[in-house]
Amino acid sequence: MKKIFKNNRGFTLLEMLLVLFVIGILILLFIPNINAQRDKVTKKGDAAIVKVIETQQQLYMMDNETEEVPDPSKLADEQYITNEQLEKYNEAKNNGKTE
C-alpha cells in the first residue's frame, strides 16, 4: 500500500498547460454571452425609463388640463420626476437604445 503513494510527484508542465488551455477556451465561450446579456439589460432599463417619462407626461397633462406635452426637463422642475430619472432619460435618448 505504501508504494502507491510513494510516486506522488505533483503535476507535470504539460498537465498544467492543458488545464490552462481548457480554462481559456471556457472563458472565450462565456465572454460574448455576458456582453449580450449586458446589452439586453441596458435596453430594458432604457425602455423602462422612457415609459416612466411618458406616464409622468400624461399625469402632468391631466393635472394641468392641457393638451400640450411637457418637456421632460419641465417635469423635473415640477417634481413629477427626479433629476436622476431625467439624466437616465437623456442618456437613453442619446444612446438610441430604446425599443
What pLDDT shows up at residue 99? 46
Ordered mean pLDDT values, 10 residues apiece, the chain (99 residues)? 61 93 93 88 92 93 91 90 91 71
- 50 in a structural domain: no
What pLDDT shows up at residue 62? 93
Tally of structural domains, the chain: 1
- On whether the CB atoms of residues 41 and 97 are closer than 8 A, the answer is no
- 49 in a structural domain: no
- 37 in a structural domain: no
- 82 in a structural domain: yes
- 55 in a structural domain: no
The span from the CA of 66 to the CA of 26, in Å, is 58
95 Cβ contact partners less than 8 Å away, ≥ 6 residues apart = 46
What pLDDT shows up at residue 98? 46
- 94 in a structural domain: yes
What pLDDT shows up at residue 2? 55
The span from the CA of 93 to the CA of 49, in Å, is 10
Q: How far is CA 81 from CA 52, 78, 85, 96, in A?
A: 8, 8, 6, 21
Q: Tell me the residue type at 81.
A: I
What pLDDT shows up at residue 8? 62
What pLDDT shows up at residue 57? 93
What range defines the domain where residue 82 resides? Answer: 68-99
